[in-house]
Amino acid sequence: MGPKPSAPFQGQFVKNQVDALLDLQPAYFYMRWHNDSLLNRVLKYPVLWLQFFGRYVLSRTTFDLIHVHYFYPTIWLALTYRWLRNPKVKIVVTCHGSDIYLYQPESAWYKFAAKAVDYWIFTSEKLKQRFFNQQVANTVLPAGIHPVFGEALLKSRTEKTFDLLYVGSLDHNKGMDRLLALLPALFAAVPTLQIAVVGQGSYRSQLATAALQYPGLLLFSPKSPAELQHYYQDSRCFLSLSRNESFGLVMTEAMACYTPVIATDTDGSQAQINHGVSGYMLSQQDEAQLQRQLLDSIQLLLTMPAADYLQLQLAGRQDSEQYLVSQVAGQLQRLYQSLLDVE
């Protein structure tokens, strides 16, 4: 995916990875015709295929390896190239989450396309376990976070501006209905609370209405990585309320900026959060119980002794450093070379 008006930084994690691989001079192809219209939803993949065909299948340049981000149906572009242009091309696929979650049970076409992949990358161990074929050659490797987050400043809790921060899509899967339900209890407990929400999506209008009632709820448009660094390091707590999350690199970004995370129990939070050590992970089996746990965890994080809060900050930062995109890019280069050496 590429950016669109309602999500100007969509695809940023993949773009960060491409930038980190510039020494390889990769060609970068992504969805440029991308918006929220009905026409786009119906035709975006056929248009993407036609653009790919014209740019690469009809090109004089031969590619030895194609790395597909988001398996299905994007895989059909790579298969078209193999069938019509270079039958020896190696195909690597990174599964990001919904390319597995949304296709269960898998169709015959899905399984047919999967047989053609040479190597699989899953963004978390739990996501890998959900894949229908556990015998494929694979590794677990998230997309990686921008280098700017590795340069974040360590600020004490009292030096920070915002009490709570959310960054990402404002939709149902990301739990924006849960945030709206939580607001009355939060502001009743702490009327001076400052909550920053950075993003765009279908729940933005409802959040804007809530902001009229709660002046401490502040909405911001999507930001660049450099801008986000300031929001993360100036926030006391990062909230992740997702129903499904394969990895959740916004959590990684927050921890890299010394901001503890409170998250719902997802594949992504299980992969990253050491409960009680680098953040808090809450069960989402019961919505009423989740709301109580959220309120209790937020109050705990905002009032715990400064020394305990500092330990959360340092543990989160240490855990996140392995996911800087420079580290991920090094592993990818070694993987590409190993595949190309097998002839």
DSSP 65: E
Domain count, the chain: 2
Is 3 within a domain?
no
Q: The pTM is what?
A: 0.85
- Mean pLDDT across the stretch 136-149? 93
Q: Do 100 and 175 lie in a common domain? A: no
343 pLDDT above the threshold of 70: no
DSSP alpha helix (H) spans, the chain? 12-20, 38-52, 75-84, 98-101, 108-114, 125-130, 176-189, 204-213, 225-233, 249-256, 267-272, 287-303, 306-320, 325-341
The answer on 173 and 303 residing in a single domain is: yes
- pLDDT classification of 291: cutoffs 50, 70, 90: very high
49 and 138 together in one domain = yes
Q: For residue range 189-199, list pLDDT tens digits in order.
A: 999 999 999 99
Together in a domain, 99 and 165 = no
337 with 315, same domain: the answer is no
DSSP character string of 166-235: EES--STTTTHHHHHHHHHHHHHH-TT--EEEE--STTHHHHHHHHHH-TTEEEE----HHHHHHHHHTE
Q: How many CB atoms lie within 10 A of CB 340?
A: 11
- Write the pLDDT tens digit of every residue in 249-260: 999 999 999 999
Residue 10 pLDDT: 83
Contacts of 257 (CB under 8 A, 6+ apart): 149, 152, 229, 232, 233, 317
Q: From the centroid of its chain, how far is CA 300?
A: 27
For 270, the domain range is: 147-323
Give the CA distances from residue 30 to residues 42, 54, 88, 131, 334, in Å, rounded to whole numbers and listed in that order.
17, 14, 23, 24, 24
339: number of Cβ within 10 Å: 17
Distance (Å, whole) CA 166 – CA 284:
18
Q: Report the CATH number that the domain containing residue 337 is assigned in CATH.
A: 3.40.50.2000
Give the pLDDT score at 342. 74
| Identity at 237, one-letter amino acid code | C
Same domain, 131 and 258: no
State whether 233 and 299 are in the same domain: yes
What's the per-residue H, E or C state across 120-131? EEECCHHHHHHC
